[in-house]
Structure formats: C-alpha cells, structure tokens
Structure 1
Amino acid sequence: MRWAAPGASAMQLALVLPLLLAVGGPLRLGAALEPISVGIAIGAASALTGYLSSPRFYCAFVECCPQEQDRPNATALKLSLDEKLFGQHLAKEVILKAITGFVNNPNPKKPLTLSLHGWAGTGKNFVSQIVAENIHRAGLKSKYVHLFLATLHFPHDHQVQLYKDQLQKWIRGNVTACARSVFIFDEMDKLHPGLIDAIKPFLDYYEQIDGISYRRAIFIFLSNAGGDLITKVTLDFWKSGRAREEIQLKDLEPVLSIGVFNNKNSGLWHSSLIDRNLIDYFVPFLPLEYKHVKMCIRAEIKSRGNSVDESVVQKVADEMTFFPKDVRIYSDKGCKTVQTKVDFF
C-alpha cells in the first residue's frame, strides 16, 4: 500500500511513516484496514506534516531571517560585552542601549547606524562580532551579515563609481532578502573619500525606496580615525587626576564627529552622512591601560581551555609597549598582539 499526505516531502514522509505503523500496526499487502485506525493515523500524520513544514521547524536546521518575534536577548548581549570587552565603559553603555532600543522599537524611523572609533586593538572588531552574533545566531558567518574591507573590496581610486553602483545593488538585494541585515564596513580610514555617501539614501528617513524598507537594517563603521583625539581627551582626564570612568559620551562625541568630518583620511571626510545627521552614535574606544591588557591576556588563555598562570600573564604584559614614554600608561597596540605573544610563552 502506498500513502502520502498531499504535498509531503520525502523527508516528511520518512518521519511520518513510523507514526502510521505505530498507530495502525504493520501494513500488509491486501490486508483490510480499520477505518478508525486509518483515520487516527492520517490525522496524526497530517498534524505532524503540518509541523514539519512550519517555518519554526525549518529554521531549526536552515538559517532564516529573524522575524518580529525573534528579538535579541539584552541580557546575553550585556554578558558578552562584559566578558569580551575591557576598559570600554562608554562603548558598552552605548552599544547595549542602542542595539536593545533599536530591535525593540516596533517602528524605527531609520536604520541603526553606528560609527566606532579608536586605535587598533581597543575592541571595535570584538563589538561588531558581538552585535552580529546577537542579531544572527551564525554571527559573522551568517548569510545576513556582510563585512566590507576597504583595502580588499574597494582597492582602486579610479573605480570609485563602479564601487558605488555595486555597493547600492548589494545592499538593496540583501535587505530585500532579509530586512534585519547587518552591514559592517571595516578600515573606514582607508576608504576612498565620497564612496560611503553612495549608501546615504538607505540610511535616511525614508519609509521605502522602490518598494523596499531599510529601516530594520544595521550599519556599523569601524575606523582608526579619531584615535588621537580620543587619546588626548583620555590623557587630559588622567593628568587632571580624574578616573577614565568619569569620561562621558558628551566629552567625546562632538569632538569625534567634527574631527572625522574634517579628516580626509577618515572615510567620512565631508560626508553627507554626518552633514545630514544620519550616524546615530559616534562610539569612542579609549586607549587601554596596563590592567586592561592583562585582562585581555587572561581571556585569551581561558579561551584556549587553559588555567590562568599569573606569571605568564605578567611576562606577556611586560612584552607590550606603552606610551607616553615617560609614564607608560596606555598600550600603543591595545590588545592587538596579545594572541601571538601568548603563543610565544
């Protein structure tokens, strides 16, 4: 006897058939079947087939674009930031509030746009990775998370117009596929001036553009530009005897926005994104102190499944270089070389 629910796939039938056998007993060629047993079996099979074809079942095995009810966990986001990001009280506060507020807003007026600034090794890439993992389970490996590297994807000056066209098509196509797409632009300070303005329409307060809404997408810019300005403010606080935790966003955000707007090597030089106030937050990453570098070293050792040996932590930290030379407060590479130095020891 052959039986299959209308529209049932081979995988669904393979899962349903054992249920039929369990309910109705063994199926024998030419055997008479009791109507009640068959009815129960078919009803159970139909219910199971309906479950198997539901989006929730399908998305347990294949990555799907998050729906309205699939909201990121603010507690998990905070925990990740606490465990992986050191010495960045401002960045933690801004990122947590910005992401949580945005994803819980039923009707955002524009995409969320974050511009992360600071020297290398201060945690910008960590934060973009954490945000990606919080929005999409596969993180940076998700087909809905898109990472652009200036020197890799946009290397040639004479092809800027081509890059602009390609970038617009890429964003349009991927937001069409998933409204909650995440776009990360790394090495913004190496991006050709004017190129990033190509995405200005997608960041603006439009309800739709050609029938597509971009209001649930997230755009993140990573840049070393402004690192010197951030360091100067941080050092001034130290010289005046004030703790770095006293630094507030208002002490740095205006300086950053003006600084990168007037910096030809920022990727945002005279950008309409700043001129039109389309960047929601300029997030400063402060230079890391000796104690923060030691936190990075401990985290790296733990990530390898090893117990922390404080003598090794001390040796690795002493191999790092700090500035200003006379007082040696801040690491000039942040935690950038911690991994290789742990390898050495």
Structure 2
Amino acid sequence: MSERAASENQGTQRVVLVTGPSGAGRTTAIAALEDFGYETIDNMPLSLIPRLLAGAPRGHPIALGVDVRNREFSAAALIELIDQLTLSPTVSLELLYLDARPDVLERRYSETRRRHPLAPSDAPREGIVAEIDLLAPIRARADVLVETSALSPHDLRAEIARLFDPGVLERLSVSIHSFSYKRGVPRGLDLMFDCRFLANPHWEPALRPHDGRDPRVAAYIAADPRFGEYFERVLGLLQFELPAHVEEGRSHVSVGFGCTGGKHRSVAMTEKVTKALAEAGWQVSKRHRELERRAEAPDGEVGQGT
C-alpha cells in the first residue's frame, strides 16, 4: 500500500495546497484535481482553512488553491498555515508549487491580455518579478514542484494525474507515448525505445499522408523483417519489468517510442504495445504527442512527418 493511501486509512485528511505565480497553471491543476475526485476550493481566506479542516476527516482528499489574489495573502501567513497543518495529527499536507520562467509567464499574459494582480496598471513583467520574489520562501517549502514552462495544459493535467490521482495509488498505470526525436524527448519517461531503424512509410507516397494508426501504414512497418522480433523483445521486457514496479510500490510507469517525425513508426509501435498490454490486464493509456500538435496547429503549420 502506498504511503499516502496508508495515511488516509489511519484517519488523517489528505490536503493538497496549490500555489505558485499567476499564469503558471494553478487553475488547470485545480480543475484536474477536481476531476480526480478532490473537493476543491480556490482562494479561500487563509484564516478559514484550519476551521474547514477541523473535525473528522472526509472520505475524499481536499485541494485548496492559494495565491496573491487572496485578500489575506502574505508569505508569512501562508508559511504559518503550512507549519500549523504540518503539525496537525489529523492532516496529511502536501504543498504543490507550480512554477514557470518569467519570460513564459509574460508571454502567457500577453496572449490572454490579462492584468497581473500585483501590477494592474503596469506592464505584467513588473507584477511577475514582484510575485516571484514574494513567493520565494513558499517555493522553498514545496513538497512537489512542477515546472510548467514547457508544458501544455494537457501535459500539466497528465503530470497532476501521475502525482495526485487517488485512483492510481493502489494499481500501477502505464502510459505509452509516441514522439519525434526532432522535437525532443518527452518529460518524465521511465523507458524509451528508438524506432528509427524500422522501414519508414514516409518514403512511400501512398502512405506518407497517413499516420501509424492507419492499418496500411502499420502493415508496412510490420512487414520489416526486424519488426516482429523487436516488438516481442520490447513487450517481453515490459512484461518482465512491470510486475517488479508493482512490488516496489510505484503507481505509474511512462514508456516512450520515438522516430524521426513521430507520425508513422513510433505511432504504430505505441498502438500495438498499448493493445498488447491492455489485453494482458494492465491499466494502460496512450498519447501521440506529434499527432496532437498537428491537430492543434493552424493550417500551413503542419511539419513533415517521418
């Protein structure tokens, strides 16, 4: 049993405090936690939080969003609250701090045209610098620090699920990712496999427009004489490792398959491995990073797939 699940069984209330600079993704994280079964309250006055947590633990975890917009907010007051809840025998507290680089925060503000709460009449940069300085002591106290500069909302939600979803605490979940090496390796992979040696459908004009989910593309890749042995070896390694991860108490394992463009070979392998693991009874999900980017890109911005 995980340490967190054990703490809840012992009669303590699990509480996640969510904070960080404005624009770093706090709203997305709180929404994700709510979807995972947390009772969520955003910007509750700090003085009321101990009163909220008084009494018998609830049957579900609680997530509380706190930031500089709170009329009672100060770094000293929040640190005092953290210390108080940490010492409470009925509370199991975790401080989740969402962070991002100043230039990323400034870009996000410019895209949304929002005013920064600490600089409503000035340029967002002034408020961003002031807020980062104000929150520095809180950041140092974080139990979990998530850097969101390179994360899309989808990526952030997946990271929050990996860290805080109560549904995966007692059972190992496996996520399978396809990706392009040209765009870099996804964050947080535990295992990574290179598919670039397999036959490439990109060089077949009839197959090039389609991705690895297309049966014709998958059949072309599977016809490579090396594919069968490669697939069996990869699947065998995963089936050997995953039970050991369960024994070690892990809740999540992330596996990546990469090729040049993330459209054909890595996608086909991800599809086939995901299907095989699901049929073997594993809790498995899949994500095709480059296909998602292509779907989101405006017309004319789709890159060459290989």
Task: Work out whether the TM-score is over 0.5.
Answer: no
TM-score (norm 2): 0.32
Larger radius of gyration: 1
Higher helix share: 1
Higher strand share: 2
